[in-house]
Amino acid sequence: MATVPYLKKYYLEKVVPELIKSRGYKNIHQVPNLKKIVLNSAFKAEADKGHMAEVVKDMTKLSGQKPIITKASKSVAAFKVREGMPLGCVVTLRGARMWEFYLRLTAVALPMIRDFRGTSNRLDGRGNYSLGIADHTIFPETQADGSQRANIGMDVIIVTSAQTDDEGRELLRLLGMPFRRSSAADAAAATATAAAKA
């Protein structure tokens, strides 16, 4: 019998009751959940086969599964793109791998960013969240072999079952996403601190 990932267990035992209490859901199936996480990385325009192989290798290490190579569907002369040319790679995570990646992202990788002050708290209007990562080496598994390689940027798209951005934001926050505090929240905290000192 497979073990339940730590974060999924935390979601079921802590996050679901908290969301039911704060949002007044009548049914457990109304509670928003993580559906999938998509990792997407583009190859450099002048990328050779060696660089592409490195990107695929590192994306495999990050996700635990082999990425799909995305190719150009048509030629675009202005961008020097030919039909069938490899453009990047994409991985879709579901189930246990999704929960494990989310935990590594929020608890290990993001805090490794120099001068990290939190992630943007803007969602896409449908409760989904996109995050750009400029340097993939914030994930420890990419540093395991100790080899020097070029930084690989990637997009992380977190798809939830939330109906609104507010629901999605609260779900991700309760699951540990280190959102940047809004200026209004900072002002309120500063006022509370000043009042406490007076």
Handedness of CA 59, 60, 65, 66 (dihedral sign): positive
- Indicate if the pLDDT at residue 190 is higher than 50: no
What tokens were used for 123?
């969602």
User: Nearest 10 degrees: CA dihedral of 184, 188, 193, 196?
Assistant: 170
What confidence score (pLDDT) does residue 164 get? 94
**The token pair that represents 113 in the structure block:** 């960013």
Distance CA 192, CA 177 (A): 24
In the DSSP assignment, the letter for residue 119 is: B
Q: What pLDDT is recorded for position 148?
A: 52
Least confident of 11-15, 19-23, 47-51, 101-105: 47-51
What pLDDT is stored for residue 46 in this prediction? 62
Contact 188, 174 (CB under 8 A): no
Check whether 51 has a pLDDT greater than 50: yes
Q: Where are the domains positioned within the chain?
A: 6-71+81-179
**CATH architecture of residue range(s) 6-71+81-179:** 2-Layer Sandwich (3.30)
Per-residue pLDDT tens digits for 128-182: 999 999 888 888 887 756 555 567 889 999 999 999 999 999 999 999 999 988 6
Query: What's the pLDDT at 70?
Result: 85
Distance CA 165, CA 171 (A): 10
Closest CA to 99 of 19, 20, 176, 190: 176
pLDDT at 187: 47
Close Cβ partners of 152 (under 8 Å, ≥ 6 residues apart): 41, 54, 55, 58, 59, 135, 136
pLDDT, tens digit, for every residue of 74-128?
A: 877 777 777 877 888 999 999 999 999 999 999 999 988 888 889 999 999 999 9
The pLDDT of residue 175? 96
